[in-house]
Structure 1
Amino acid sequence: MSKRAEGTFTLDVWDAEKPYDERDGITFTRVHVDKTFSGGLAGTSNAELITVVTENPAAYVGIERFQGTLDGRTGGFVLQHNAGGEDGKPWLTWKIVETSGTGDLEGIKGEGQIIIHEDGGHSYTLDYELD
């Protein structure tokens, strides 16, 4: 049976390197991100992203390692990000990397989304299964 965790997170670090590819109005950049989560997920994470910027909303892919608690269970897991835009509106999804769960979160599976609010705040949903 699937459960849902919801909450918010803050971007503590957004460290973008100098773009490594800029041609034809398209820019590729590597970014290191650190976050603090609250809500169903409580803890910290770090992520490595590859971003694409055009005249439309940016797209990115990334890998993020979360460490903390999920609904009271302590451990960690890895999230795979995929994000882009359609008709000027961003979409951001994430999926738990299979077999990446540690501690009390070993065996976790799931996916969710990140929501960026008009005020710049971030929230998330994570639908997951855990024995």
Structure 2
Amino acid sequence: MNAFTMKNWEENIVSGTDGGPRVAYAHASMAYDGVIEGESVCDLLLYYAGEGYESGTTTSPSFERFAGKVDGREGTFIVKHEFTFDAQGIASTFDVVPGSGTGELAGLTGSGTVGGAMGEKKMGYTFEYTL
């Protein structure tokens, strides 16, 4: 099973503390198991329509940097996410940033999805790739 566990989440409101739409910045770290084995750091720019995600679907463009292995090949790479989330859960589609692979992952291309219930520490992912 392809899954990741949230290790850390730090979020700060950037603007919109007056009760209107708000923007926040989040910095997170995750541990991955499955086709990706290793750890990642993700930086997210979050948009909330109201006081929180309870007010409806929100969006988040994000970059995530992986360090570890893909099917036993070691290196680093970056993906660009487009997250949506609400009170029930999160979903994302992502693509490997062209040219971001290093080490044995140089030349890596691919895309995938992330999904899970809000508040769960462990979530699933898919990843289709070529090296």
Q: 2:25 — aligned with what?
A: 30
Alignment gaps of 5+ in structure 1: 1-5
Q: Secondary structure at the match of 1:20?
A: strand
- Which residue is 1:16 aligned to? 11
- Matched residue SS, 2:65: strand
Deviations, residues 24-64 of structure 1 (Å, cap 9, x unaligned) = 63111000001100111100010111011121122101111
Amino-acid identity (%): 27
Structure 1 residues 89 and 117: alpha-carbon distance in aligned structure 2, compared to 1, 3 A threshold: closer
Matching residue of 2:100: 100
RMSD of aligned Cα (Å): 2.1
Q: 1:57 is aligned with what amino acid?
A: T
TM-score (norm 1): 0.85
Higher strand share: 1
Aligned residues: 123
Structure 1 segments of 4+ aligned residues over 4 angstroms from their partners: none
* TM-score normalised by L of structure 2: 0.85
Equivalent residue number for residue 128 of structure 2: 127
Structure ranking higher in helix proportion: 2
Q: Which runs of 5+ in 2 are unaligned?
A: 50-54
Contact 2:89 2:118 in 1 (8 A): no
Where in structure 2 are the equivalents of 1:40-79 lying within 5 Å?
Answer: 40-54=35-49, 55-79=55-79
